[in-house]
Chain A
């Protein structure tokens, strides 16, 4: 408990310190409370700052991809995709179609894995200890596939500027088809266990409400924004890769409370699985790497690329000075910008709701602090 004597002495400061019993990483939240109600939230970040953007200035483009794996360490392939798209745009190369399909398949599977982790950790924040095991069981299947294709369960270093590192193994398509069926069943199980459970509804319905215009002005994106009724999705509004060739739905909420944000992620899991199925039907044969020089030495210039990460809108602003190392890589992390909405959502709610609201934003500290 911290008190700052020079401020008002009526309200109490309650510190949810950097170490949490729940997950979310190292994040410090100071709640100003009046009795049982929260008056203000002061977030303190920076505990996981690793100098990613500074390192990107001294590492070559191939090495920067490994940095991006670790920015949002749960949606690795989505981050890699954003950066390699920025590299491709500044080098004016295009990845071949097969490579784009492989990338989208892996990125969407990574989205499902990320949402499964969210469902599990959100449930255990609120006290339900089984959905996390079920969710991680399904995640394990997806990570097994990643290991089969990329060589690593998490930090893949698989995408390259111009394509992907290596072609997928021969049994990729049947493996992924079976995987989709199994993961869909697992997601349905978590859905049945949690979504309409009366205690869960009591903890999340009507909690942490934020309306559409406020959400937009706070800079929210991803499911947190769509929960408030704003149908903005980068895959739909600023399409990239082969997303235009897919049929999918973007679920949008109405109330802007924690349950909406949770349930939209559940629906997105189903949508991502159907997108992967369509990609498997459409994937062509062909090269997986654009022809041309292998060492990236782009012309001087700058480019901004954004993509739909599981957490929201990830932006990469890449400035090149003509050498084989970037001049500046600025990352616009969705979790960092989503945290701006935390104070608005938490004001006026109970202390016990602060945990539920923070969980529903689905932040990853690697992204917030870089």
Chain B
């Protein structure tokens, strides 16, 4: 194939713009997370560096870059320095297929969804190598644990992507958005969005699934030996991944740049609408972070294998049936809500109701201590005002 110079230049410009969009998006997420979490907690968040603290990510970056670059003496240097890149690059490569508007895309592939799935799992390799090359017992453990978590939660995500692909009869992102012209898929399969969100949280490593590196209180995660700039790359990759989950959720479930406007808006408005939806999902992710504690690793894995994966398979079957028998779209909505009710009821029975009952029982069974009557005061007075020269203490 002939690649002319102008093609190469165009591609270079597109890639540069894409890199900027992704990086600026991730950086804006850093700022947005801290301000939003602050507001949830009743405080302003960063507001000193620049107006409204907008330059705070730059201050963070400068701080991280200026740290000393240490590596463990016994680590595998080449792999040690390569692992952040192995985690970081797939986070950016998946952006090649994301259409921000109908024509704002670097390369719109017919197998766009498949491309996303294939590339995104590569970062797991980087994580394992990060842990292993640090040559620290707890980094290795953390790395394997991270890998186990990420691999387990890939299955629900892939299944949800398959469901979306089935419903829109294509793996092409643009066609997926077009299929949501009237009804976004979140209304057609709400449970799929819920599973996608939960599995996406686990993929990115955010609360409540961030124990593999927040457990650095105790064990240390795969990032424990990384300092300064290398850790900044991991940090940036995490935020780019969070942004990817947001954009993917907006494209696959919230109707992309089209819904609720049937026709196409001008390009800038389309991009803005898509970004708005992506940021909304991101804010929900931050909101969850502000509310929930962390799950333990075994509880997290149990949730994946005992709940998310069976539920996603059942939902897949439901979607398959709906397509085969050509039921109207709202049948799938009802089916998915019915399926969603099952774990809610089971969790209520097994965990919430016993806890509520226990709380009520403790409040009711408390040992009651009755007040003894106070001795009559020396002088007569209205209730409450008794001048006592010496108190009667037992």
Instruction: Say yes or no: A245 contacts B371, CB within 8 Å.
Output: yes
Bound form: Cα–Cα A203–B294 in Å: 8
> Which B residue sits closest to A94, measured CB to CB?
B390
| Residues on B with beta carbons closer than 8 Å to the beta carbon of A282 | 374, 384
Bound form: Cα–Cα A64–B362 in Å: 39
Q: Closest approach, in angstroms, between the C-beta of A98 and any C-beta of chain B?
A: 7
Contact partner, A130, options B41, B208, B386, Cβ 8 Å: B41
> Which A residue sits closest to B298, measured CB to CB?
A350
Residues 30-58 of A, flagged 1 when their CB comes within 8 A of B and 0 if not, give 00000000000000000000000000000
Instruction: Say yes or no: A352 contacts B215, CB within 8 Å.
Output: yes
Indicate whether A247 sits within 8 Å of B369 (C-beta atoms), given known contacts A240-B393, A241-B393, A285-B387: yes
Bound form: Cα–Cα A287–B391 in Å: 10
Instruction: Say yes or no: B296 contacts A353, CB within 8 Å.
Output: yes
The B-contacting residues of A in range 109-148, CB under 8 angstroms, are 123, 125-130, 133-134, 137
Instruction: Say yes or no: B211 contacts A249, CB within 8 Å.
Output: no
Q: Closest approach, in angstroms, between the C-beta of A81 and any C-beta of chain B?
A: 12
Bound form: Cα–Cα A29–B27 in Å: 38
B214 at the A/B interface (Cβ < 8 Å)?
Answer: yes
The B-contacting residues of A in range 76-100, CB under 8 angstroms, are 94-100
Instruction: Say yes or no: A249 contacts B391, CB within 8 Å.
Output: no
| Residues on A with beta carbons closer than 8 Å to the beta carbon of B372 | 244-245
Residues 333-359 of B, flagged 1 when their CB comes within 8 A of A and 0 if not, give 000000000000001000110011011
> Which B residue sits closest to A124, measured CB to CB?
B293
The A-contacting residues of B in range 367-387, CB under 8 angstroms, are 367-374, 377, 384-387
Bound form: Cα–Cα A134–B291 in Å: 12
Q: Closest approach, in angstroms, between the C-beta of B84 and any C-beta of chain A?
A: 22
| Residues on A with beta carbons closer than 8 Å to the beta carbon of B356 | 196
Instruction: Say yes or no: B389 contacts A286, CB within 8 Å.
Output: yes
Bound form: Cα–Cα A69–B284 in Å: 44
Contact partner, A244, options B215, B387, B394, Cβ 8 Å: B394
Contact partner, A100, options B298, B387, B391, Cβ 8 Å: B391
Bound form: Cα–Cα A235–B391 in Å: 18
| Residues on B with beta carbons closer than 8 Å to the beta carbon of A233 | 367
| Residues on B with beta carbons closer than 8 Å to the beta carbon of A127 | 207-208, 210-211, 214, 292-294
A264 at the A/B interface (Cβ < 8 Å)?
Answer: yes
Indicate whether A284 sits within 8 Å of B386 (C-beta atoms), given known contacts A95-B393, A354-B218: yes
**Category for how many chain A residues contact B:** 35 or more
The B-contacting residues of A in range 231-268, CB under 8 angstroms, are 231, 233, 235-236, 239-242, 244-254, 259-260, 263-264, 267
Instruction: Say yes or no: B389 contacts A200, CB within 8 Å.
Output: no
Q: Closest approach, in angstroms, between the C-beta of A225 and any C-beta of chain B?
A: 13
**Category for how many chain B residues contact A:** 35 or more
Instruction: Say yes or no: B218 contacts A242, CB within 8 Å.
Output: no
Instruction: Say yes or no: B218 contacts A96, CB within 8 Å.
Output: no
Q: Closest approach, in angstroms, between the C-beta of A252 and any C-beta of chain B?
A: 6
| Residues on B with beta carbons closer than 8 Å to the beta carbon of A245 | 371-374
Contact partner, A263, options B218, B293, B362, Cβ 8 Å: B362
B42 at the A/B interface (Cβ < 8 Å)?
Answer: yes
B228 at the A/B interface (Cβ < 8 Å)?
Answer: no
Contact partner, A249, options B351, B368, B373, B385, Cβ 8 Å: B368
Instruction: Say yes or no: B293 contacts A126, CB within 8 Å.
Output: yes
Instruction: Say yes or no: B299 contacts A202, CB within 8 Å.
Output: yes
Instruction: Say yes or no: A130 contacts B293, CB within 8 Å.
Output: no
Instruction: Say yes or no: A250 contacts B366, CB within 8 Å.
Output: yes
Bound form: Cα–Cα A98–B210 in Å: 53
Residues 104-124 of B, flagged 1 when their CB comes within 8 A of A and 0 if not, give 000000000000000000000
| Residues on A with beta carbons closer than 8 Å to the beta carbon of B74 | none
A161 at the A/B interface (Cβ < 8 Å)?
Answer: no
| Residues on B with beta carbons closer than 8 Å to the beta carbon of A20 | 217
The B-contacting residues of A in range 335-361, CB under 8 angstroms, are 350-355
- Apart from A197-B291, A290-B390, what are 14 other A-B pairs with CB-CB below 8 Å? A98-B388, A126-B294, A127-B292, A128-B291, A196-B359, A197-B293, A242-B391, A248-B368, A251-B362, A253-B362, A254-B362, A260-B362, A263-B358, A355-B217
